[in-house]
């Protein structure tokens, strides 16, 4: 999983959605109630991911530029989980290095507010971790890694160093991900999965065989499985 700007992960489809959730096209059908991921001893529940995914979709809908042509429901859910995991990782790294993460996260959250000013304020506050956590994690890692980099290190050099640090951190602190979601993994680029852990529509299964660059998956999926 690449360390990127907020919601950059929404551009990559990883796992097709399941079932129907009224109002936002995101699933309320779970393989089993429980944990979506465990990060450094902290559990992120499937219920929390599902609830935040619904609100995230509504916030995206309030911003046509971010919504674009829409997303599959599972892409939103995977991204929500990834962002929540990144916040936990950032908190852990900050604590390990005696960094006060609170003001760093507050700055990232404020940037998210400014970029999503047209969204309903109550909804926006609820989903701020989804839109702020990547920036928060990057800033925390920069606090740790930048002192070891040359003064003239460019963006590419810094990003590679951050990625290397995160891969090493995760190797020492494995993140456990429910197979219902795309794995949270900083050790390399994400690969699209070709299997499903729960029952989905026949069309969703068919779409797994298609080249995502050649078809707009969010247009082909049933309304219950997309955020448009």
* Higher pLDDT pick, 170 / 186: 170
The DSSP code sequence of the chain is: ----STTGGGGS--S---S--TTTT-----SSSSEEEEETTEEEEHHHHHHHHHHHHHHHHT-HHHHTT-EEHHHHHHHHHHHHHHHHHHHHHHHHTT--HHHHHHHHHHHHHHHTTTS-HHHHHHHHHHHHHHHHHHHHHHHHHGGGS-TT--HHHHHHHHHHHHHHHHHHSPPEE-TTS-----SS--------SS---HHHHHHTTS-TTTS-HHHHS-GGGEE-
Q: How confident is the model at residue 197 (pLDDT cuts 50, 70, 90)?
A: very low
Q: Residue 63: what pLDDT?
A: 81
Residue 105's alpha-carbon distances to 90, 108, 139, 155, 161, in angstroms, are 9, 5, 9, 21, 21
Residue 115: predicted pLDDT: 84
Handedness of CA 88, 93, 97, 101 (dihedral sign): negative
For the ranges 117-131, 173-187, 195-209, the lowest mean pLDDT is seen at 195-209
Does the structure show a pLDDT above 90 at 6?
no
Q: What is the pLDDT of residue 150?
A: 92
Give tens-digit pLDDT for 54-101. Answer: 999 988 888 888 888 788 888 899 999 999 999 999 999 999 999 999
Does the structure show a pLDDT above 70 at 224? no
Q: What was the pLDDT predicted at 120?
A: 78
Average pLDDT, the chain: 77
The C-alpha atoms of residue 68 and residue 52 are separated, in whole angstroms, by 20
Q: What is the pLDDT of residues 133-156, one digit of tens each?
A: 999 999 999 999 999 999 999 999
CA distances from 49 to 133, 140, 163, 181, 192 (A): 14, 23, 25, 10, 20
Instruction: Specify the pLDDT at position 47.
Output: 93
Tens digit of pLDDT for each residue in 107-121?
A: 999 998 888 877 778
């Amino acid at each position: 999983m690449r360390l990127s700007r907020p919601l950059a992960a929404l551009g990559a489809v990883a796992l097709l959605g399941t079932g129907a959730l009224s109002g936002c096209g995101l699933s309320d059908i779970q393989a089993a109630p429980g944990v979506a991921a465990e990060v450094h001893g902290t559990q992120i529940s499937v219920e929390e991911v599902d609830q935040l995914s619904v609100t995230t979709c509504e916030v995206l809908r309030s911003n046509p530029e971010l919504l674009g042509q829409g997303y599959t429901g599972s892409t939103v859910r995977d991204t929500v989980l990834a962002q929540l995991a990144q916040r936990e990782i950032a908190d852990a790294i900050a604590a390990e290095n005696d960094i006060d993460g609170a003001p760093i996260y507050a700055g990232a959250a404020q940037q998210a507010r400014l970029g999503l000013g047209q969204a309903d304020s109550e909804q926006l506050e609820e989903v701020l971790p989804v839109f702020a956590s990547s920036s928060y994690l990057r800033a925390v890692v920069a606090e740790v890694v930048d002192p070891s980099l040359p003064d003239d290190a460019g963006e590419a050099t810094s990003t590679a160093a951050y990625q290397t640090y995160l891969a090493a951190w995760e190797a020492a602190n494995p993140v456990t991900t429910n197979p219902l979601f795309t794995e949270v993994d900083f050790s390399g680029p994400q690969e699209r999965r070709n299997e499903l852990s729960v029952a989905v529509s026949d069309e969703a299964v068919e779409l797994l065989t298609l080249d995502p660059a050649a078809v707009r998956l969010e247009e082909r999926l049933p309304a219950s499985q997309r955020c448009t």
